[in-house]
Amino acid sequence: MRIAACLLLYSLVVLLVAPRVLTRVTRAGRAPRLSLLAWAAAIGSVVVSWVAAPVFLLMDFVEPDGEGARLARACLAMLGAVLGGRYGVAVQAALAALAVLMAARIGWHVLRALRAGRFRGRRHAEAARIVGRRIPGMDAVVLDAPERAAYCVPGRPHTIVVTSGAVSALTDGQLAAVLEHEHAHLRGHHHVAQAVTRGLRRAFPRVRLFTAGAAAVARLVEMCADDVAARKCGHVVVVEALLAMVGPHDLPAGALAASGPTALARAERLLAPARPARHAVTRVVLMAVALVLLVGPVAAVGLSAAGYDLCALPPA
């Protein structure tokens, strides 16, 4: 019971503090890969805490005479005094069942998002390969459409789609930068990060960590792909390509696109003057935050199991 209480207390602190801190630190996109790591550590540590807590709660039933049972009885005694009744094991069973249901809800929505994105993406990619055409020397399918759009659809095989409007608007160098951007998405498995965060957002639409995290991850994966393309093709070429692709787009579910509503802001980021000192501070802060978040649940469990009263309950 003590370990479960520590995990839930830890997750509560992260839920309250992490969204505000991470939004502020990662907004400018100075270190998008480390920013992704920090958001993943925050979201992952909360999910792991929620999944692990019911396991430790259920362990109290296995060892009814152990210390966990004594702590559970003390906690339930206080709860019973507040409620004015004696519900004992029934209350603990209800709490454990609630935690199990929460873990099941997380798993269901995440798996549903992954499967839905894969299914819709596969169907769209198959249709694009049938309807579209190949241009020699370009590793992409071209769809005849006036809109300027380019995106990748993960699957087997992966498919990069470019509209004829984009091909007409871009130079050869700019088109190469756009294709490198899409390849960076596929190599980095960015679709998995987006699917997981979208599933958590659907499961808990009022939890700010998940809603803000899903938006941040969607923005940061585009910045990561921009940086990969910029290192290979040059910052100026990538900026020109992004500006040429600015405009409204209706993308299929599960697609990751160089074009889109964030293209202008991402171009401004690439044009921003370099400030090594500020970037170094941001990197140090992000690494420290990610380390604390990754170690947090493990430390809580380890110290509690070692006998440190991090979340001690009064004796029954």
Q: Which residue has the tokens 């709860």?
A: 79
User: Mean pLDDT, to the nearest integer, of 281-308?
Assistant: 78
Closest CA relative to residue 254, chosen from 181, 195, 186:
195
Given a cut of 90, is residue 130 above it in pLDDT?
A: no
76 vs 26: CA distance, rounded Å = 42
Strand partners, 256: 152
Crossing angle of helices 32-62 and 190-203, in 10° steps, is: 50
Q: What backbone phi and psi angles, to 5 degrees, belong to 151? A: -160, 165
Q: Each residue of 132-187: pLDDT tens digit?
A: 788 777 788 898 888 888 888 887 778 888 989 899 999 999 999 999 999 999 99
Strand partners, 134: 141
pLDDT band, residue 275 (cuts 50/70/90): confident
Q: Which of 89-93, 187-191, 257-261 has the lowest mean pLDDT?
A: 89-93
Max mean pLDDT range (68-72, 150-154, 283-287): 283-287
Find out whether 241 and 174 touch, Cβ atoms under 8 Å.
Answer: yes
Q: What is the pTM of this model?
A: 0.76
Pairing relation of β-strands 150-153 and 141-143?
Answer: unpaired
Whether residue 252 has a cis bond before it, omega within 30° of 0: no
Structure tokens, 172: 């050869």
Task: Using a pLDDT cut of 70, give the percent of the chain over it.
Answer: 67
